[in-house]
Structure 1
Amino acid sequence: MENELQKKYGLFMAIAMVIGIVIGSGVFFKAEKILVATGGNLPLGILAWIIGGIIMIICAYVFATMATRYEKVNGVVDYAEAAMGSKYAFYVGWFMTTIYYPAITSVLAWVSARYTCVLLGWDIVGAEAMALAGFYLIGSYALNALSPKLAGKFQVTTTIIKLIPLILMAVLGTIAGLSNGVLIKNFTSGVIADVTTANPMFTAVVATAFAYEGWIIATSINAELKDAKKNLPRALTFGTLFVALIYILYYTGLAGAVENSVIMQGGETGAKIAFATVFSSLGGSVLFVFVVISCLGTLNGLMIGCTRGFYSLAARGLGPQPNVYKNIDANTNMPSNSAILGLLFSGAWLLYFFGANLVPVPWFGPFSFDSSELPIVTLYAMYIPIFIMMMVKEKTLSSFKRFVMPVLAICACIFMVIAAFYAHGFVTVLYYLGLFAFIMFVGAFFSSTKRA
């Protein structure tokens, strides 16, 4: 008899998935990029955080509506199948399994290693960083593959831990900035450095996309979530609202800790400088350990989705060797074969990220792109047909849920696509789309239902 995934997670786990995956590296990793993109213009940077948060909340609300109606093995793929049919659902699942999950997971492994290196005073692109990135990637896989329940507890624990530095900086950084005048100075100084992008706002909003991304991965556990049709929408709605609020407050607190120029010039050490300024050198180092744990918690949440990618295809009789990858381990209740292949793809994307973004001369020539942002924007583009068909098919929904929110979500997705072209350049995006098209072409050979 074939095993099935058990209902082992509750509402708190689902909320922890949303908050824990989204909050992590991005708010630290992209804060400096947003300041640089806007030339140190703090109000413009905060506006970018607000726009990015609104886009996330709108899209999450629409998917939360769909989550009350559909429940199978992988949320976003289920919704694509209900709206557009099995063929489109396969390509969404294939993209998420081969590009989105492993690409973002690999970046998180490096970001976790990056902040560990900052803490230890090591080079963030040297051998130490890459060795740590590989270790973190394999360690996260092992935790999920060997004990999914332990991985769930780790997710909840790190979610609580990662809120500590954010809340402390949001509160104490703001108070310190108001008392010493730094916050007011940062708000009123305007542009303090040359802006190198054609449209600073678009570049900044696309940067927030990485910081806000991950909430959709929480839908990957809906087959393992108790009362998923009620708990998943609650988790998506509450989680995304909470994340947007805490990000804006943290960014404001950061501006109260040190001048914008310090964050911009500090690069990867900018966040550590800010924490040390507010909490002293020792206190800043302790809180920065929490930052590293925060990144590892996000990596764990992404790996939860990554290990289930090929299983979500195989459960539909699709993808390579579906009878192999839909197998569930009787002892761990994990799709072990799917997890192994997910790790392999994550390792490949880590190698790509290093060769495309961290070496002096990119290995892949014009095909070198930022794999932390463009796959996310691609997913937003793939949402658009789902939202359109939702308006066509879901006739029992209220006008607000059927038309108003999906239209807003479509506008938000189109905005992200346009912003990506401005942020990364038309030529770079075209080369990325070429690689995307090739991977989708390979996927076409596995798009037919195969059953034993």
Structure 2
Amino acid sequence: MKEELEKKYGLLTAIAMVVGIVIGSGVFFKAEKVLLATGGDLPLGILSWFLGGLVMIICAYNFAVMATRYEKVSGVVDYAEVMVGRKYGYYFAWFMAVIYFPAMTSVVAWVTARYTAVLLGWDIAGPQAMTLAGLYLIGSFTVNAISPKLAGKFQVTTTVAKLIPLGLMAVVGTIYGLRNGVMIQNFTSGAIVEVSGNPLFTAVVGTCFAYEGWICATSINAELKDSKKNLPRALMFGSVFVVFVYALYYVGLAGAVENEVIMAGGETGAKIAFSTVFTNVGGTLLFVFVVISCFGTLNGLMMACTRSFYAMANRGEGPASHIFSNVDKVTNMPTNSAIMGVFMAALWLTYFYGANLVETSWFGNFSFDSSELPIITIYLMYIPIFFMHIRKEKELPVLQRFIMPILGIGASLFMVLAAIVSLGEKIIYYGIIFLVAMVLGCVLKGKKKEEIS
């Protein structure tokens, strides 16, 4: 008899996946980019954080509605299949398995290593940092593959830990900035330097990485107790909570140091802010919690990455479905899927290094930030799901059937437009890579042997 994934996670783990994956590396990693994109215009930067958060909340609400009605194997892939069709569900799953999950996981592995390197005074793109990135990637995979329950507990623990530096900076940084006048100066100085293009769109695209990851919580749909109730609760509570925390942290950061310091500090900008408010010793200690928060994000993404090939194989589709559909009887983990997932993440880590961290790119024009464009792609792929939700869900009330899906389509289009305006021709070269990946998925699709009821 075929081994199935058991119901081993509760509501707390689901919330921890939403909050723990979203809050972590991105808010520290992208805060400086948002300021650079807006030329140091703090109110415009805050607006971009709110817009990015609004997009997340709208999309999360729509998937929360779907989660109350459908429970199969892998959340968002199930919704794509139910709403648009079996073929679309497969290609959505293929994209998640070979591009989205491994690309996100690999970037966060490097970001975790990056902040470790900042603590130790190493080059963030040097051999030490890249070795650590690989070690963190394998370590996260090992925990998830050997003990998925331990990975769930780790996710909850790191979620609590990562709120410590954010909460302290939000409260103490705000008070500190109001007392010494730094916050008023940052809010009223306007743009410090001139920027090209559309600064708001560029900043919003920058926030998309910081807000992304909530969709990963749907990957444990089949392993979540009372999924039809707990998954929607986790999506909505987690999304709103994240926006609230981000806004307060960003304001607190504005009270810690001048915008020019954060913009010039690069990878050390966040550490400078913490050290300024909490002294060097306290700042360093709190920055350790920043690194821990990145570990939590990496763990949550790896939880999703290791299950991505299983989502296809369980439907009898994709390459070697008879291999990737196997679930280990001891660990209750799709081990073969997990191995393939970490291999794909290693490939994307190699790409990220060669495209973004070396002086001369290995890939020429085909170099892009793999922490952003895959996210924009997934928003584009949400649109058919929202559209078919309007057509099919006739028994739902007006808010859930029409208003929120239409807002979801508008929010997704906004993200795509922002990417086109801010990234330009890079999208074309990324599009070529995307099409090649999809064609490969078509070749390896195979025939579905049975319907999943």
Give the TM-score range, shorter chain: over 0.9
Partner residue, 1:333:
332
In the TM superposition, 1:430-449 aligns within 5 A as 430-449=428-447
Tell whether 2:71 aligns with 1:75: no
Cα distance in 2 for residues equivalent to 1:449 and 1:401: 35
Tell whether 2:21 aligns with 1:21: yes
- The two structures have a TM-score, normalised by structure 1, of 0.99
Deviations 1:98-145 (A, max 9, x none): 000000000000000000000010000000010000000000000000
Partner residue, 1:275:
274
Tell whether 2:119 aligns with 1:119: yes
* Aligned-partner residue type, residue 69 of structure 1: R
Partner residue, 2:136:
136
Cα distance in 2 for residues equivalent to 1:343 and 1:368: 22
Partner residue, 2:64:
64
* Aligned-partner residue type, residue 421 of structure 1: I
Determine if contact 1:35/1:260 at 8 Å carries over to the other structure: yes
Cα distance in 2 for residues equivalent to 1:423 and 1:357: 17
Tell whether 2:91 aligns with 1:91: yes
Structure 1 runs, 4 residues or longer, greater than 4 Å off? none
Cα distance in 1 for residues equivalent to 2:236 and 2:56: 10
In the TM superposition, 1:155-194 aligns within 5 A as 155-194=155-194
Determine if contact 1:94/1:443 at 8 Å carries over to the other structure: yes
Cα distance in 2 for residues equivalent to 1:417 and 1:163: 30
Cα distance in 2 for residues equivalent to 1:365 and 1:179: 49
In the TM superposition, 1:231-246 aligns within 5 A as 231-246=230-245
Partner residue, 1:371:
370
Report the Cα offset of residue 194 of structure 1: 2.4
Determine if contact 1:65/1:401 at 8 Å carries over to the other structure: yes
* Aligned-partner residue type, residue 121 of structure 1: G
Partner residue, 1:419:
418
* Aligned-partner residue type, residue 100 of structure 2: Y
Indicate the percent of aligned positions where both proteins have the same amino acid: 67
Determine if contact 1:36/1:264 at 8 Å carries over to the other structure: yes
- The two structures have a TM-score, normalised by structure 2, of 0.99
Deviations 1:27-64 (A, max 9, x none): 00000000000000000000000000000000000000
Deviations 1:338-381 (A, max 9, x none): 00000110000000000000000100011000000000000000
In the TM superposition, 1:186-225 aligns within 5 A as 186-195=186-195, 197-225=196-224
Report the Cα offset of residue 451 of structure 1: 4.1
Deviations 1:289-313 (A, max 9, x none): 0000000100000000000000000
Cα distance in 1 for residues equivalent to 2:422 and 2:297: 25
Deviations 1:266-297 (A, max 9, x none): 00000000000010000000000000000010
Cα distance in 1 for residues equivalent to 2:326 and 2:258: 54
Determine if contact 2:319/2:446 at 8 Å carries over to the other structure: no
Cα distance in 2 for residues equivalent to 1:398 and 1:449: 37
Determine if contact 1:316/1:449 at 8 Å carries over to the other structure: no
Report the Cα offset of residue 2 of structure 1: 1.4
Partner residue, 2:309:
310
Cα distance in 1 for residues equivalent to 2:73 and 2:351: 29
Q: What are the ranges of 5 or more consecutive residues in structure 2 without an aligned counterpart?
A: none
* Aligned-partner residue type, residue 441 of structure 1: V
**Number of residue equivalences:** 450
* Aligned-partner residue type, residue 337 of structure 1: N
Cα distance in 1 for residues equivalent to 2:108 and 2:337: 20
Cα distance in 2 for residues equivalent to 1:444 and 1:396: 35
Determine if contact 1:322/1:451 at 8 Å carries over to the other structure: no
Cα distance in 1 for residues equivalent to 2:39 and 2:89: 41
CA 187–288 in structure 1, closer or farther in 2 if over 3 Å, else same: same
Tell whether 2:434 aligns with 1:428: no
Q: SS at 1:361's partner residue? A: coil
Partner residue, 2:152:
152
Cα distance in 2 for residues equivalent to 1:92 and 1:243: 26
